[in-house]
A = this chain, B = another copy of it.
Amino acid sequence: MVRKLQVAVSGLGRMGARHALHFLERTPRAELVAAFDPSPEAQAWGKQHLEPYGTKLYTDYDEMLKHPGLEAVVVAGITTEHAAQTVQAIEADKHVLCEKPLSTKVEICEGVLEAAQRKPHLKVLCGFSRRFDASYRDAFAKTINGEIGRPTIMRSQTCDKFRDDDYFVKYAKFSGGIFVDANVHDIDLALWFFGQDSIVKSVTAVGVTARYPDLKQYGDVDNGVAIVEFWGGRVAYFFSSRMMMAGQQDTTEVIGTHGKITINANPAFNLVEMHELGGVRREVDQTYYDRFEQAFVTESNEFTECILDDKELPFKLSGAIQAVKIGCAMVESLQTGKKLDFDETGAQIKEEKARL
């Protein structure tokens, strides 16, 4: 019989529960042996959906880490615990797949990176789901293959469907703001397509609160626009929004010197179109998960495969930190109203210097 990776999931909230099921049901080479979440609701859910299939439930993270034979942990609880749990798992000698972001603070991210670097035999992955999406991968393969020439300009957006409640406001407390929470995906795409070693030249971000004025108390906005210049003649520009009416719309275009690739420029929920009074209409994905479900499943499977077969992960942990860094610069630009400039080493040019 084949060996299956022994995996645990930490956090059984919305995204954590999905991760748990992905490993339980849709990752043939893995076995979900343990799950941790202290909340009574999560325990109840686990008793119904996980326990009968052989997953042991824990209310204590440390205990879970000691689960016999455990090899890997998926950190998928609340954002503020991502970094600490990841470090703890690394120290317990477990491979880790951590939901993005590691942290909304750059220094904390760097702490995780250092912990990982001390255990080079472990696979530590930050879950940038778009990296596992078939369409983005196809676009990247075509780009690498030279089909659009040199990638020069990227436009990318992460736009959520409007919600008629206070979710986005409450969430703003610890989300790091729309640029770190939403556009971090787009930033990561820029680093992927432009090269992981791209050096930022300048960052400018602006935004408005059009539907959720209460975001202002957190220095956050519900619509953000940003430009990131890179040294070497490349520019990425981003949009994020919390007020789409049709549904989630995450769209990217990569403009090369010899062509352009778009990903999800025409979002569609499925293959149905309605011809009705008023015209032709198609529905659109409603949530991030509608759009990226299959990417998450691929993520689970590849994470498993990289460990079992000792392959290299598809991208480095340090890239995830670079993305958060740029996201935080956007937040600073938004909040100070200033364009931030960086020299060719990536070091920020201070005002005094910049303005003389």
- Chain A residues within CB distance 8 Å of chain B: 1-2, 24-26, 28, 52-54, 134-135, 138-139, 142, 147-148, 150, 152-153, 155, 202, 204, 206-211, 223, 225-227, 229, 233-235, 237, 239, 241, 243-247, 249, 255, 257-284, 337-339, 341, 351, 355
Known contacts A2-B52, A150-B210, A283 near B278 by CB under 8 Å: yes
Measured between beta carbons, the chain B residues less than 8 angstroms from A355 are 351, 355
Indicate how many identical chains form the complex.
Answer: 4
Residue numbers in B under 8 Å from A263 (CB-CB): 271-272
Q: Do B274 and A147 touch (CB < 8 A)?
A: yes
On whether the beta carbons of B153 and A246 are closer than 8 Å, the reply is no
Contact of A26 among B24, B26, B249 (CB under 8 A): B26
Q: Does B233 lie within 8 Å of A225, measured CB to CB? A: no
Q: How distant is the Cα of A263 from the Cα of B282 in the complex, in angstroms? A: 11
> Given A275-B262, A339-B339, does the pair A255, B241 have CB atoms closer than 8 Å?
yes
Most chain B CB neighbours (cut-off 10 Å) among A202, A261, A269, A282 = A282
Sample (23) of A-B pairs whose CB atoms are under 8 Å apart: A2-B53, A135-B270, A135-B272, A138-B270, A142-B272, A148-B274, A155-B239, A202-B337, A206-B235, A210-B257, A225-B237, A227-B227, A243-B257, A246-B276, A246-B280, A249-B275, A260-B276, A261-B275, A263-B272, A267-B271, A267-B280, A278-B283, A279-B282
Q: A244 with B147: in contact, given A210-B257, A225-B237 (CB under 8 Å)? A: no
The 7 closest A-B pairs by CB, nearest first: A260-B275, A25-B28, A135-B271, A281-B281, A339-B339, A246-B275, A279-B283
